[in-house]
Structure 1
Amino acid sequence: MPSATPSVSVVVPMRDATPWLPSLLAALVHDWDTGFELVVVDDGSKDGSADLVCRLCAHWPTERWQLLEGKGEGVSSARNQGIMASRADVIAFLDADDRPFAGRLSKPLHHLASNPHLSHVHGGWWRCNAQGERQQPVRPWDEGAGFSWHQFMEHKAVLPSAWTVRRSALLQVGGFNPALRHSEDVDLILRLAAAGHQGDWIHEPLVRYRIHSGNASGRLEPQLKGLLSVIDHHLNTLPNPQVGWAKDQRYSTATWATWQAWQAGNSSLALQLLKGAMASCPYPLVRRPVHLIEAMHRSSMRIGAPFNREHLLASAFWRQAESMLLQR
Structure 2
Amino acid sequence: MAAQPGQQLSLRPAISVVMPMRNAARWLPVLLAALVREWSTGFELIAIDDGSTDASAAVLKRLCAQWPSERWTLLNGGGEGVSAARNRGVRQSRAKVIAFIDADDRPMPGRLAGPLQMLQNNQQLSHVHGGWWRCDANGCLQHPVRPWQEGAGFTWSRFMEHKAVLPSAWTVRRDAFLAVGGFDASIRHSEDVDLLLRLAAAKHRGAWIEQELVRYRIHSSNASARLQPQLNGLLAVMEKHLKTLGTRHEAWVREQRYSTTTWAVWQAWQAGDVDFALKLLSQALQDCPYPLVRRPVHLIEVMARSSARIGELFDRSELLSSRFWQQAEPILLAR
**TM-score after normalising by structure 2:** 0.96
The corresponding residue for 2:85 is 78
The corresponding residue for 1:104 is 111
The corresponding residue for 2:207 is 200
The corresponding residue for 2:136 is 129
Out of 227, 231, 241, which is 2:238 matched to?
231
Out of 274, 297, 305, which is 2:281 matched to?
274
Partner amino acid, structure 1, of 2:93: S
Out of 155, 159, 162, which is 2:169 matched to?
162
Q: Which runs of 5+ in 1 are unaligned?
A: none
The corresponding residue for 2:264 is 257
Partner amino acid, structure 2, of 1:125: W
1:217 Cα deviation (Å)?
A: 6.4
Distance 1:76 1:315 in 2: 39
Pair 1:213-2:220 in alignment: yes
Out of 187, 191, 200, which is 2:198 matched to?
191
Out of 284, 289, 292, which is 1:285 matched to?
292
Partner amino acid, structure 2, of 1:123: G
The total of aligned residue pairs comes to: 327
Distance 1:61 1:217 in 2: 35
CA deviation map 1:302-321 (0-9, x unaligned): 00101110111111110111
Distance 1:321 1:30 in 2: 50
Partner amino acid, structure 1, of 2:228: E
Q: Please give the secondary structure, in 1, of the residue aligned with 2:46.
A: strand
Paired residues for 1:18-167 under 5 Å: 18-167=25-174
CA deviation map 1:11-49 (0-9, x unaligned): 000000011111000001111000000000000000000
Q: Please give the secondary structure, in 1, of the residue aligned with 2:53.
A: coil
Alignment check: 8 A CA contact 1:217 1:264 kept: no
Partner amino acid, structure 1, of 2:266: W
Alignment check: 8 A CA contact 2:218 2:224 kept: no
Runs of 4+ in structure 1 off by over 2 angstroms are none
Distance 1:22 1:239 in 2: 50
1:71 Cα deviation (Å)?
A: 2.1
CA deviation map 1:74-120 (0-9, x unaligned): 11101000010001000000000000011100000100011000000
Distance 1:233 1:82 in 2: 26
Alignment check: 8 A CA contact 1:258 1:271 kept: yes
Q: Please give the secondary structure, in 2, of the residue aligned with 1:205.
A: strand
1:240 Cα deviation (Å)?
A: 1.2
Partner amino acid, structure 1, of 2:187: L
Question: Identity of paired residues, percent?
Answer: 66
Q: Judge which range, 211-220 or 72-81, deviates more.
A: 211-220
Distance 2:219 2:202 in 1: 35
**TM-score after normalising by structure 1:** 0.98
Distance 2:56 2:328 in 1: 44
CA deviation map 1:171-228 (0-9, x unaligned): 0000000001100000000000000000000010101011111126641110010000
1:149 Cα deviation (Å)?
A: 0.3
Q: Which runs of 5+ in 2 are unaligned?
A: 1-8
1:270 Cα deviation (Å)?
A: 0.7
The corresponding residue for 1:177 is 184
1:141 Cα deviation (Å)?
A: 0.5
Distance 2:274 2:223 in 1: 16
Pairwise CA RMSD: 1.0
Q: Please give the secondary structure, in 2, of the residue aligned with 1:213.
A: coil
Distance 1:58 1:71 in 2: 23
